[in-house]
Amino acid sequence: VTAEVLTVDNDQANVVIEGTGVEGVLTLRELTNDRDADINDFVKTGDTVEVLVLRQVVGKDTDTVTFLVSKKRLEARKDKLVGREGEVVTVKGTRAVKGGLSVEFEGLRGFIPASMIDTRFVRNTEKFVGQEFDAKIKEVVPAENRFILSRREVVEEKAAAARKEVFSKLEEGAIVKGKVARLTSFGAFIDLGGVDGLVHVTELSHERNVSPKSVVSV
C-alpha cells in the first residue's frame, strides 16, 4: 500500500495508509538491516512511501488498531522478480488507472499499459478490475518502482497456438463445424476455433445474387 509519513520519532515513523485513514508503524528495522542507521536518513515527515502490510497491532491500553508495515520486505519481494522477465504469471486486476490497468501479483503492484492489455487497444479497462488472468512479465526495475506486464502477448501466443492446431487438422474435403463470426457483402467468415474461413457468397446458396445475411446470421 501507499502511505504518508506523519511523524518520525526515535527509531520509528508513524504513517497513514492512503485512502483509508488507517495508521501504521514503520520501524527502523523494517527500513534497513543496519541497526546503527539514522531513521531520518530514510524517511521524513510528509514523504510518501510504498510499504508492505505485515500484521495488525492492537494497543494495550486503548482500542486503537494500527498496522506494522515494512519497506525493506517489500523491496526484497521486488528484487525476487528481477530475472523473471518473460515469465507468464497469474495477476489480478485491481484498479483502472490513467493509461492502463493496475494489477496485483504476490502482494506487489504491477502495471499493464492499455496497449498491452489486448490485441486491440482497450479504452475501458474497468472490465478487468477484479478479474484474474495470465500476463507476461516485461520489465522489472525495483529502484524505479517499475513492474510492467503484458496480457496482449499471452493472448497472441494462445491464439497462435490455436491457429496452429486448427490448421494441422484442416484438409481439403473435410466437413467442419464453425460459428459465423462476421458478414460482408462478398460472403461470411466462419470461426473454426482460432482460424476464420471464408464462405464466398457464391458458396452460400444455389440462388444467384443472394445476400449473405439472408442465408446466415452472426
Q: pLDDT digits over 168-212, tens only?
A: 888 999 899 999 999 999 999 999 887 889 999 999 999 888 899
Q: Could you identify the residue written with the cell 497491532? A: 57
Measured distance CA(167)–CA(124) in Å, rounded? 34
Amino acid at 167: F
Q: Could you identify the residue written with the cell 513492474? A: 147
- Give the containing element (helix H, strand E) for 183: strand 179-184
CB 188 within 8 A of CB 203: no
Task: Give φ, ψ of 19 to 5 degrees.
Answer: 80, 5
* Residue from 190, 188, 210 nearest 200 by CA: 188
Contacts 24+ apart (CB under 8 A), 140-144: 140/78, 140/81, 140/82, 140/84, 140/85, 142/75, 142/78, 142/79, 142/81, 142/82
CB 146 within 8 A of CB 138: no
pLDDT at 60 over 70: no
Q: Report the DSSP pairing between strands 146-150 and 179-184.
A: unpaired
pLDDT of 80 reads: 85
pLDDT at 138 over 80: yes
pLDDT at 74 over 90: no
Task: Give φ, ψ of 122 to 5 degrees.
Answer: -105, 115
pLDDT at 144 over 70: yes
Measured distance CA(148)–CA(137) in Å, rounded? 6
pLDDT of 76 reads: 85
Question: How many whole angstroms from its chain centre is CA 140?
Answer: 14
pLDDT at 87 over 70: yes
Measured distance CA(45)–CA(69) in Å, rounded? 16
pLDDT at 59 over 70: no
Q: What is the pTM of this model?
A: 0.62
